[in-house]
Amino acid sequence: MGVEKLLVLFLVLISIRYSEQLQSSQVQTLLRIQHLLNYPTALSSWSNETDFCKIEPSSTVTVVCYDENITQLHIIGRKGTSPLPRKFSIRSFLNALAKLPSLKVLRLVSLGLWGPLPDKLSRLSALEILDLSSNYFHSGIPEAVSSLTDLQTLVLDGNRLTGGIPDGLGSLSVLAVLSLKSNSLDGPLPDTLHDLNNLRVLSLSKNNFSGDVPDLSSLQNLQVLELEDNSFGPKFPQTGSKIESIALRNNKFTANIPEKVQSYYQLEHFDISSNNFMGPFPPSLLSLSSITYLNVAGNKLTGMLFEDNPCNTALDFVDLSGNLLTGSLPNCLLSSSRNRIVHFSNNCLATGDGTQHPFSFCRNEALAVGVLPQHQRQKHASKVILALIICGSITGGVILVCLTILIVKSFLAKKASAQNTPPRFISEDASSSYTSKLFTDPRYITQAMKLGALSLPSYRIFSLEELEAATNNFDTTTFMGEIPNGQMYRGQMRDGSYITIRCQIMKRSNTRQNFMHHIELISKLRHQHLVSALGHCFQFYSDDSSVSRIFLVFEYVPNGTLRRWISDKHARRKLTWTQRIAAATGVAKGLQFLHNGIIPGLFSNNLKITDILLDQTLVAKISSYNLPILSENVGKV
C-alpha cells in the first residue's frame, strides 16, 4: 500500500512539472496577430503579461497549448463584421501564423479578413482543422491547400470565393469535412472527389455549381450531402447506403428518384424540393426507419397514395405539395398524436378541402411529360384504370374499387407474414459517424491531436465477420472476462496481431446516433500512454434498425496491470525503481493528454493502479477513460 501512495505522490509532482509555459517567441506571435487583426474587442485583454496557456476558453477566444507550443487557436468575431482596413495584408498575417509550427486547429471566423487565399497556406503544414468562414476572401481556392496532407476539416463558408474546386483536393486522404457553402464557386465538380474515402460531410450549398455530381457511391463514410441552390443535374447523385442527409433543393434535377433510395435505412433528412424530378413517388419513403424530414415539393412526381400507407412515427415534417399525386392522403399523416407538419396542396388527392387540382389535371400533366401515374410494376392495372377513367363508366368505377381491395388485401397479407417472421440480426459496419457537428463544433478531437508517435493502424470500422474470425466465433477460449453489460474477448487478426474486443448489449430502442458522440470521442483517444482504440462495429436488429450490440476494438496489452508488477506477491521479476519512475512518468503524460491535449478535456478519471497496464516493453498505458456508452441505453446481458 505504501508503494501505491508513493506512486500517487509522484504522479502529482509529474503533473506539476508538465504544466505549460509558452515559449516567448509564440507570445510575441500572438501579440502580432492581435495587431494585424486591428485589436478586436475579443483580444483586448492580451498583453506581454498574459499567460496564454491558462486563458479560460470562451465562445470567442480559445488558445490551447501542449509541450510549450500552441496547438489550437480559435478567434470568433461578431457576425457581419466589416472588412479590415485597406492596410491589412493576408500575406503578413499568414507569415505570423507560420511561426506557430505546432498549430493543429485554426478557426478564424467573422473577423473581416479579406484578400485572395495565398499559396502560403501550405506553410501551415500541421493543420488538421481549418475554418475561415464568414470573412471576405475572394478569388479561387489555391492548389496549395492540397499540400496540407493532415487536413481533416476544411470550412470556407460565407466568403466570396470564385472558380472551381481544385482537382488536388482529392489527394487529401484523411479529409472528413469539406464545406464551401455560400460562395460564388462554379463549374462541374472534379471527379477526384470520389477519392476522398474518409469524407463524411460534403456541403456545397448556395454556389453556382453545375452538371452531374460525380459518382460518390464508393464513399462509404459519407453521411451528409448538401447541394442546395446550385444548378446540378439532371441525374440523381449516387451515394453509399449509409447516407443520413440528402439536400438537393433548388437545382436542375429531372430524373426519377432511384429505387436504391428506398433502402437508405439511415436516411433522416431528404429534401429534393424545387426541382423537376419525374416518375413515381415511392410511398415507402414515408416509412424509412430513420426518416424525420421529407420534402419533395415542387416536382412532377406521380403515383397513387392510399389511406393505409404507413409512416415512421419519428417523421416530423412532410411536404408533398406541388406534384401530380392522386389517391388519398395516408391516415398516418393526418394523425394529431404528434406535432407533425404536413403540406400536400396542389396535387390531385381526394381531400375535399379545395386545395387540390381535379384528377384530369394530374393525368394530363403526367402524360405531357411522358410518365404514367402508376408504378411500372402495376403497368397492366394502370392501363385498365386509365381506360376506365376515359370511358367514365360505372363498371370502371366498380373494377377500380375491386382492384384497390385486392391490392390492400395483398399488402396486409404480406405485412402480417412479415410480422410473424422471427427477427434476425444484421451486422452493419456503421461509420464512426460524422455529423455536421464535426465542423460546427470545433471541440471534436482530431487525429493529429494524439501528439504521440504511434505504430498503430488507423482507426477503422470492423465487420462482424472479421471479429468472429479473430475469436473463432467468440469461442470460450478467447473469453477474457465480464464487463458491465457485456463481455471482453481476445482476438487474433489474420496478420498475427492481437486485439481486445469489448462487446456491449444495448436496449432495443436505440439508434446508431445515440452512441456516435462517444464513438467519435473514443476513436480519437490514441496516445503512446493510452490503451488506444482501433475501431468499432455495430450490430443492428433487421426489423427496426436499432442497435443490438456494439463491439469496441482496442490494442491488446499483454503484460497485465502495474499493481501486479509492484506487488510483493508478484511471482515474476520486480520492476526496478527506474522502470517504476518511467511508468509513473508515462501515466502522467497520458493524464496530461486527457486533460490538455484534447478539447474538451477529460477530467473525471477515477484512475486506479489496476487501470494501468504494461505492454511488452513495460510502457505504461491507461486502460480506463471513464467514458460510458450512454449507460442509460445499455441493456441487460
Q: Does residue 623 contact residue 611 with C-beta atoms inside 8 Å? A: yes
**What does the alpha-carbon distance between residue 433 and residue 411 come to, in Å, rounded to a whole number?**
36
Does the pLDDT value for residue 319 go beyond 90? yes
Q: Which of 467, 627, 599, 463 is nearest to 104 (CA)?
A: 599
The more confidently predicted of residues 456 and 265 is 265
**593-632 pLDDT per residue, tens:** 777 766 556 665 577 888 888 888 888 998 876 665 544 4
Residue 325 clears pLDDT 80, i.e. is over it: yes
At residue 22, the pLDDT reads 60
**pTM score, whole prediction:** 0.61
pLDDT number for residue 497: 86
- Nine-digit cell at 533? 482504440
pLDDT, position 112: 94
Cα angle: 607, vertex 611, 617; to 5 degrees: 125
Buried b (16+ CB within 10 A) or exposed e, 12-49: eebeeebebebeeebbebbbbbbebbeebebbeebeee
**Residues 257, 375 contacting (CB under 8 angstroms):** no
Average the pLDDT over 490-505 and give the result: 88
Q: Which range has the top average pLDDT, 52-61, 291-300, 390-399, 589-598?
A: 291-300
Report the pLDDT averaged over residues 358-381.
63
CB atoms within 10 A of CB 258: 16
pLDDT of residue 217: 92
Rounded Cα–Cα distance for residues 223 and 229 (Å): 19
Q: What string of H, E and C letters represents the secondary structure of 199-243? A: CCEEECCCCEEEECCCCECCCCCCCEEECCCCEECCCCCCECCCC
The continuous run of DSSP H or E covering 479 comes out as strand 479-483
291 — pLDDT class (breaks 50, 70, 90): very high
Please name each of the domains of the chain with its CATH number: 254-371 (3.80.10.10), 458-630 (1.10.510.10)
- The rounded distance, in Å, linking the Cα atoms of 324 and 298 is 10
Q: Are 530 and 622 in contact (CB under 8 A)?
A: yes
The confidence score (pLDDT) of residue 263 equals 87
Would you state the pLDDT for residue 433?
34
Region 380-388: what's the mean pLDDT? 41
Which residue from 253, 334, 346, 259 is spatially nearest to 297, judged by alpha carbons?
346
Predicted confidence band of residue 561 (pLDDT cuts 50, 70, 90): confident
The per-residue pLDDT of the chain, averaged, comes to 79
Mind giving me the DSSP string for 494-553?
TTS-EEEEEEEEB-TT--GGGTHHHHHHHHH---TTB--EEEEEEEEETTT--EEEEEEE
Alpha-carbon span 315 to 459, nearest angstrom: 34
Coil, strand, or helix at residue 245? strand
- Band (pLDDT 50/70/90 cuts) for residue 209 is very high
d(CA 526, CA 593): 10
Residue 545: name the closest of 312, 286, 254 by CA. Answer: 312
Among 277-286, 526-535, 538-547, the least confident range:
538-547
Rounded Cα gap, residues 389 and 326, in angstroms = 13
pLDDT above 90: residue 222: yes
Q: Are 257 and 271 in contact (CB under 8 A)?
A: no
- Summarised one tens digit per residue, pLDDT across range 53-90 is 888 888 899 999 888 889 999 999 998 899 999 999 99
Which bin fits 421, alpha (ψ -120 to 50), beta or left (φ > 0)? beta
Contacts 24+ apart (CB under 8 A), 309-316: 309/283, 310/286, 311/286, 311/287, 312/286, 312/287, 312/288, 313/338, 314/290, 315/286, 315/291, 315/340, 316/292, 316/340, 316/341
Q: Is the pLDDT of residue 375 over 80?
A: no
Task: Please state, in angstroms and rounded to a whole number, the distance separating the CA atoms of residues 629 and 471.
Answer: 23
- Which range among 311-315, 354-358, 415-419, 568-572 shows the weakest confidence by mean pLDDT? 415-419
Residue 419 has pLDDT above 50, yes or no: no
**What is the predicted pLDDT for the residue at 343?**
94
Q: What is the edge-to-edge ordering of all strands in the sheet holding 231-232? A: 114-116, 136-139, 160-163, 184-187, 208-211, 231-232
CA-to-CA dists, residue 587 to 96, 529, 601, angstroms = 35, 6, 16
* pLDDT tens, residue by residue, 133-186: 999 999 999 999 999 999 999 999 999 999 999 999 989 999 999 999 999 999
Distance of alpha carbon 308 from alpha carbon 403, whole angstroms: 15
Rg for the chain, CA atoms, rounded: 29
Q: What is the share, in percent, of the chain residues with pLDDT greater than 90?
A: 42
